[in-house]
Amino acid sequence: MSSSPITSSVAPAQSRPPLRILLTILHLAALGLFGWFVVSILLALFSVGLGTAIILGIGLVFLIGLVYSLYGVAWFETERVSGLYQLPVPSLQLVRQDAPGFGAYLRGVWWQFVDGRMWQGFASFMIGTALGTALLVFAQSLVWSVVSTIASLGGGPVAADPTVGSVFGLFPVLSSPLTGILTAVLSAAAIVGLALLHRLISVAIARAGARTQQLTRQVQVSAHQREGAVRAAEVERTRIERDLHDGVQPRLVSVGMTLGLAQQQIDADPEGAKALISEAHTSTKAAITELRQLARGIHASVLDDRGLDAALSALAGRSHIPVVLDVRLQGRCSREAETAVYFAIAESLTNAAKHSRASECRVVVRLRDGNTLWARVEDNGIGGARVLPGGGLDGITNRIQAAGGDVRIDSPQGGPTSLEVSVPCAS
């Protein structure tokens, strides 16, 4: 399956400097005002949970609440940063439990607790809160400096702000106009600098989290495809062994026995020997036909030579039930994608002929969005098809998953049965 470079999934933040800086300042001010309140709640949950850990039922509830609270803070921070800077960062997702039961639920909570992207979001929130607190201090200094300067220009003495004292620990906020203007400029510059620093840090954390999640998803998809490929190969090997053992092998044994009898009778009963040889010849041709069908099941050469449309036309012509074929393709897809879809349709037609009691099948194939090969097979049979290990539908699912695609099967009792597959063209 093709994949784009990891860095391409997270585009740079759109640049509207004045508005973006103003929005960042407002965000930081809000974090400075309310961020420490959120942190105090988290610390309270941690303290109570840890303190009552001996009483498992109580402490566990608070600790689980802490994990979900951390997730909520990280989710909020991820959405805030991605919305503020227009970053196409995927939303933070809760870790789902992999099985029913309380033990599986606790495992899910643990995996959520050690989720790296959640902690990256929380770290971004803490950094934003700290920067927001500093921004509020400089904003207070800016306001007092402006008021002090205006008052000084009006002729009234204004004392230094006792809550601020100085800016950067160097410049006291005095009542002189020059000092007030200098302090205001430095405070405004510090506010803008904090906003730019927040943008730099938060965007870097968001991108790092997106890269981590994309890498994790790529590993999961690769593992899923590898597992599907292994299962598909196992099912295919079992099918080939079954077809050889139940079909071609007995027929060839019969041919050998018939020729042996003909050899024994060729002198005493030439006419009987000729009849046996004719029977062996007929059985040999049937065996050759079965071998051809078996080879076609392994690989359809017409698929490589003439494409999916021609291969499906030949497949529909050999079907035991009538097939309405509707194929509209502009160009070719990758060999893996076409092969996966071809064998999914072939196995579906085989299942319909064997089990569905259908009188007609309809096959529709399209190229969607220029990059997805989509097919739908529907019969008017009795329905009730189920995915069983080693069965035909299991083989279809494994082969499509190995190609990076998706399968949807709908087969209610009474019919009809429909199967849809979608495979990336560049799989």
Q: What number is the average pLDDT over the span 296-304?
A: 61
Q: Look at 23 and 355; give whichever has higher pLDDT.
A: 23
Q: What value does the mean pLDDT of the chain take?
A: 77
Question: Among 46-50, 120-124, 400-404, which is the least confidently predicted range?
Answer: 400-404
Considering only CA atoms, which of 18, 24, 38, 39 is closest in space to residue 135?
24
Reported as a pLDDT band with limits 50, 70 and 90, residue 42 is very high
- Identify which has the larger pLDDT, 89 or 7: 89
Show the DSSP H helices in 299-355 as ranges: 301-306, 308-318, 335-351
Which whole number is the average pLDDT over 56-76?
88
DSSP string, 181-195: HHHHHHHHHHHHHHH
Query: Does residue 76 register a pLDDT over 90?
Result: yes
Q: What is the pLDDT of residues 83-134, one digit of tens each?
A: 888 888 888 888 877 677 888 888 888 888 888 888 989 999 999 999 999 9
Residue 169 pLDDT exceeds 70: no
Closest CA to 341 of 377, 368, 302: 377
Q: Give the span between the Cα atoms of 323 and 320, in whole angstroms.
A: 9
CA distance 422 to 255: 44
Q: Do domains 235-298 and 301-424 have the same CATH topology?
A: no
Q: What angle do CA 203, 209, 212 make, to 5 degrees?
A: 140
DSSP string, 98-134: SSSSHHHHHHHHHHHHT-HHHHHHHHHHHHHHHHHHH
Domain edges within the chain? 6-226, 235-298, 301-424
- 301-424 is classed CATH 3.30.930.10: no
CA 178 to the chain's CA centroid = 60
* Span of 3-17, 44-58, 286-300 with lowest mean pLDDT: 3-17
Mean pLDDT for the stretch of residues 306-335 = 80
Which of 344, 359, 355, 327 shows the shortest CA–CA distance to 394? 344
Q: What is the pLDDT of residues 276-287, one digit of tens each?
A: 788 778 777 777
- Amino acid identity for residue 244 in this structure: L
How many of the other CB atoms lie within 10 Å of CB of 75?
Answer: 17
Amino acid, res. 255: V
Distance CA 151, CA 50 (A): 54
- Quote the DSSP letter at residue 98: S
Q: Residue 281: left (phi > 0), alpha (psi -120 to 50), or beta?
A: alpha
**Is there a contact between 146 and 184 (Cβ–Cβ < 8 Å)?**
yes
Classify domain 235-298 at the CATH topology level: 1.20.5
pTM over the 0.85 mark = no
**pLDDT of the residue at 128:** 92
